[in-house]
């Protein structure tokens, strides 16, 4: 079997006795994009710097195509690792033209063709003789991508590469970058703190917290089967309803929830995203009948409703304990504050986590 393009095994790094990377392992295959996703300070960039070879790990190993690149005694220098880098502040050389920037790391006869092909791929051919300061931020980013890919790196490391760009442009450049990276078959390790960016770019997401990878998988799986409450909350606003387990069931105002394998007496959080709450109208103080899919309805009063563009966000104060729950509804639904409404929770979209 082919070894993975990049294999990171049990990497540990401490700064001043504090473990900022704690036993991180992951693999990336050619043509695959893996995102290290997590809040600021969780150790993403340090992990990337260790792979790049500009930082040394305390323990653990890195292999590229099955060959050892570094452990705690042996170390291939950064330029010998076949790795391309793209960082937010990774500036182009201001005194070189676009073409010369891209050609910078290239030798040999076919370098002209390579520069031409890459500039074509990133849609920048017509700027070949311009200087970086004549280009917009997005154009510079495209050239930086071409430059990083020019020597055909086996692995591309990207650290928040799009964060200097404004929103709309960022979406376009992300998509274009992804197309180019896929067409080159490069293995990509991308660091970001933005779940939206990870969902958009990644084949696989490694969710990091306090130096550890807490969950790893395809974006769909991580979003729909988060490991704990914090993992669920990292991707969207969440609603939390608390309960206590008795006989593998939790009683709540929304009916009973299964809590298999959770010991009696355990307090649990039932977590649901706002778009998975169902709203129904009040019929003289009565709500919809219970169903196996959605459980029982509980009543609340609209506090406020806001139009969000593609959806509307409705905040309700619940009769049963005065807590606020948030529901999003596609398109336009803007009930007046004070309107009584009934909420139901889609059972297949609820997560039950023991409280820690």
DSSP sequence for 64-124: ETTEEEE-SS-B--GGGS-EEEEETT-PPPTTS-HHHHHHTT--STTHHHHHHHHHHHTT-
Q: Which is nearer to ligand ATP, 86 or 115 (CB)?
A: 86
Nearest to 192 by CA among 25, 48, 84: 48
Q: Which is nearer to ligand ATP, 5 or 44 (CB)?
A: 44
CB contact burial 257-290 (16+ within 10 A = b; e otherwise): bebeebeeeeebbbbbbbbbbbbeeeeeeebeee
Q: Is the C-alpha dihedral spanning 193, 196, 199, 200 positive or negative? A: negative
Q: How far is the CB of 298 from ligand ATP (least distance, A)?
A: 39
Q: How far is the CB of 149 from ligand ATP (least distance, A)?
A: 23
Q: How far is the CB of 190 from ligand ATP (least distance, A)?
A: 12
- Region of residue 274 (left: phi > 0; alpha: psi -120 to 50; beta: else): alpha
Residues at the interface with ligand ATP (CB under 6 A) = 15, 20, 38, 40-46, 193
Q: Which is nearer to ligand ATP, 13 or 273 (CB)?
A: 13
Q: Which is nearer to ligand ATP, 42 or 279 (CB)?
A: 42
Q: How far is the CB of 208 from ligand ATP (least distance, A)?
A: 7
Q: Which residues contact 334 (CB under 8 A, 6 or more apart)?
A: 305, 306, 307, 312
Q: How far is the CB of 21 from ligand ATP (least distance, A)?
A: 7
Q: Which is nearer to ligand ATP, 40 or 113 (CB)?
A: 40
């Amino acid at each position: 079997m082919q070894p993975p393009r990049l294999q990171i095994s049990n990497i540990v790094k401490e700064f001043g006795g504090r473990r900022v990377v704690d036993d991180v392992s992951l693999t990336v295959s050619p043509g695959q994009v893996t995102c290290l996703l997590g809040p600021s300070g969780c150790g993403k960039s340090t992990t990337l710097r260790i792979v790049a070879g500009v930082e040394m790990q305390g323990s653990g190993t890195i292999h590229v195509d099955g060959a050892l690149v570094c452990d705690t005694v042996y170390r291939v220098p950064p330029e010998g690792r076949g790795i391309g880098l793209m960082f937010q502040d990774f500036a182009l050389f201001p005194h070189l033209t676009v073409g010369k920037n891209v050609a910078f790391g290239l030798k040999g006869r076919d370098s002209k063709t390579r520069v031409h092909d890459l500039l074509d791929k990133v849609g920048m051919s017509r700027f070949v003789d311009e200087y970086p300061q004549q280009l917009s931020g997005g154009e510079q980013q495209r050239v930086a991508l071409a430059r990083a890919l020019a020597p055909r790196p086996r692995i591309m490391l990207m650290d928040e590469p799009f964060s200097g760009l404004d929103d709309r442009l960022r979406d376009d450049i992300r998509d274009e970058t992804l197309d180019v990276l896929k067409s080159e078959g490069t293995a990509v390790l991308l660091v970001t703190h933005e779940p939206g960016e990870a969902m958009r770019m990644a084949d696989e997401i490694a969710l990091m917290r306090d130096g550890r990878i807490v969950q790893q998988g395809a974006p769909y799986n991580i979003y729909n089967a988060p490991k704990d409450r914090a993992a669920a909350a990292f991707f969207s606003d969440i609603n939390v309803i608390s309960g206590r387990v008795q006989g593998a069931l939790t009683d709540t105002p929304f009916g009973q929830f299964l809590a298999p394998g959770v010991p009696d007496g355990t307090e649990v959080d039932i977590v649901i995203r706002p778009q998975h709450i169902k709203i129904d109208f009040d019929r003289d103080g009565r709500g919809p009948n219970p169903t196996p899919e959605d459980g029982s309805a509980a009543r609340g009063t609209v506090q406020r409703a806001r139009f969000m563009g593609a959806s509307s966000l409705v905040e309700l104060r619940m009769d049963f304990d005065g807590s606020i729950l948030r529901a999003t509804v596609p398109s336009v639904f803007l009930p007046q504050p004070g309107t009584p409404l009934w909420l139901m929770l889609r059972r297949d979209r609820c997560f039950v986590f023991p409280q820690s």
